[in-house]
């Protein structure tokens, strides 16, 4: 029986986490991991107690703001920020953690990840944020892209026989 490697395993979990997203534009899931153990998960959407974007609508969509621009005009929190917040809420240290995410982090999430002690970032879908990429390069944090087609070409057993 074939088993997925750790990167594939946690990226597939991030994809499942993304299914909880309430964002109209993009479903993103994040998993913070240390020593092959999940510390926390997060998906993008409105903060606790706030009407979901699916119900309230998307101001960025209404204003035709392109993806990757004007993040401040968004009622939602990004998946990576939510994963960090969940760890903090539970009193879990993120020092030395690894991030597995469906999308490459934006500059806001990159800053938070660097400040929380993340030492490795693995993602599926690239995101066009040059400033975030420059910050990662300067920080020395390892960053790896495993494209969707490579991820889905892996053969392993899920829930029984292959």
Instruction: Please give the positions annotated as active site.
Output: 80
Q: What tokens does 63 get?
A: 């204003």
**Using an 8 Å Cβ cutoff, are 128 and 107 in contact?**
no
Buried b (16+ CB within 10 A) or exposed e, 38-51: ebbbbbbbbeeeee
**Using an 8 Å Cβ cutoff, are 96 and 124 in contact?**
no
Report which of 2, 3, 4, 13 is spatially closest to residue 98, judged by C-alpha positions. 13
**Using an 8 Å Cβ cutoff, are 160 and 134 in contact?**
no
Distance CA 148, CA 67 (A): 20
Distance CA 3, CA 127 (A): 29
């Amino acid at each position: 029986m074939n088993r997925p490697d750790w990167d594939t395993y946690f990226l597939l979990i991030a994809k499942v986490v993304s299914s909880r997203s309430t964002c109209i534009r993009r479903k993103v899931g994040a998993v913070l991991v240390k020593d092959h153990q999940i510390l926390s998960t997060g998906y993008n959407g409105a903060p606790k107690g706030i009407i979901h974007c699916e119900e309230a609508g998307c101001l960025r969509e209404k204003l035709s703001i392109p993806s990757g621009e004007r993040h401040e005009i968004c009622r939602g929190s990004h998946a990576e920020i939510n994963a960090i917040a969940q760890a903090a809420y539970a009193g879990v240290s993120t020092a030395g953690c690894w991030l597995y995410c469906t999308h490459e982090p934006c500059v806001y999430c990159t800053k938070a990840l660097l400040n929380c002690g993340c030492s490795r970032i693995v993602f599926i879908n690239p995101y066009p944020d040059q400033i975030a990429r420059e910050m990662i390069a300067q920080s020395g944090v390892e960053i790896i892209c495993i494209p969707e087609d490579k991820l889905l070409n892996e053969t392993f057993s899920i829930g029984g026989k292959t």
